[in-house]
Amino acid sequence: MSNQSIIFFDIDGTLLDFDKKLPESTKKAIFDLKARGHEVAIATGRAPFMFDDIREELEIDTYVSYNGQYVVLRGEVIYTNPLDKDALLQLTQTALEQNNPLVYMDADDMRASVPEEDEMITTSIHTLKVNKFPTYDPLYHQGREMYQCLLFCIGDAEKKYEQEFKSFDFIRWHPMSVDVLPKGGSKAHGIAKITEKLGFPEERQYAFGDGLNDVEMLKQIYNSVAMGNAEPEAKAVARHITKSVDENGILHGLQMVGLLD
């Protein structure tokens, strides 16, 4: 353990480039890390079913998904933090009144609150270039554990939701969509469940990210690296800043912090 580190990677804009492709230099770097005995993990806002192909390609079975609400260590679920059911019911009612669609997400699937193919849902989810798309089931959240919702709204419309729903956090990930999370839930919190269980000291913890949902992670992890394409808020709290994802940013960052030659 003395020379072993754990490295957490965000997916979109970090592992994957702007075309949602995995750069060859990044793939090689991940396998080089593992060959040196390091633990490699993913920390993402995506649902588990939205990146199973990436996990398979990179042979990674430890991950923090749903921005920290569903955590898996070496193939075993070790922590879950679902949305409050009563508050979610109230959110559903308010969102319908405001004509803001919702997508409910559990560990296995996602369903939409509106029947027709909504433009905001279609536009934002298609940017992820995933094979799955939500079908209509307005009651899907009832009797199930939901770990995240997508609220579809534009501008700063989430501000009114923030004021009304104190048990949720609202984090924008797309001009048309906001992640709805349990209050205080974050990648940082989910990561801590893994590092505590494995016993990694803070100086042996690394994290790479680029988005607003990476801010808490980059603030908490001792060896944090923001991508060159990262949001200003992410760069402001990171210990290091590497090159852009499309400029071999992962490889450069790992070399910069001394994990690879």
Which DSSP category does 38 fall into? -
pLDDT of 132 reads 84
HSE, side-chain direction, 13 A CA sphere, residue 203: 4
pLDDT of 116 reads 74
pLDDT of 189 reads 95
pLDDT of 169 reads 94
Catalytic residues: 10
In the structure encoding, which two tokens stand for residue 174, read together? 């797309």
d(C-alpha 207, C-alpha 7), whole Å: 6
Is 39 strand, coil or helix? strand
d(C-alpha 153, C-alpha 150), whole Å: 10
CATH number of 6-80+185-256: 3.40.50.1000
Report domain extents, the chain: 6-80+185-256, 85-182
CATH number of 85-182: 3.30.1240.10
d(C-alpha 114, C-alpha 43), whole Å: 29
pTM of the complete model:
0.91
Q: pLDDT tens track of the chain, all 261 residues?
A: 568 999 999 999 999 999 999 999 999 999 999 999 999 999 999 999 999 999 999 999 999 999 999 999 999 999 999 999 999 999 999 999 999 999 999 999 999 999 877 889 999 998 988 888 899 999 999 999 999 999 999 988 899 999 999 999 998 899 999 999 999 999 999 999 999 999 999 999 999 999 999 999 999 999 999 999 999 999 999 999 999 999 999 999 999 999 999
pLDDT of 106 reads 97
Distances (CA, A) of 88 to 18, 78, 139, 259: 33, 24, 11, 43
pLDDT of 2 reads 62
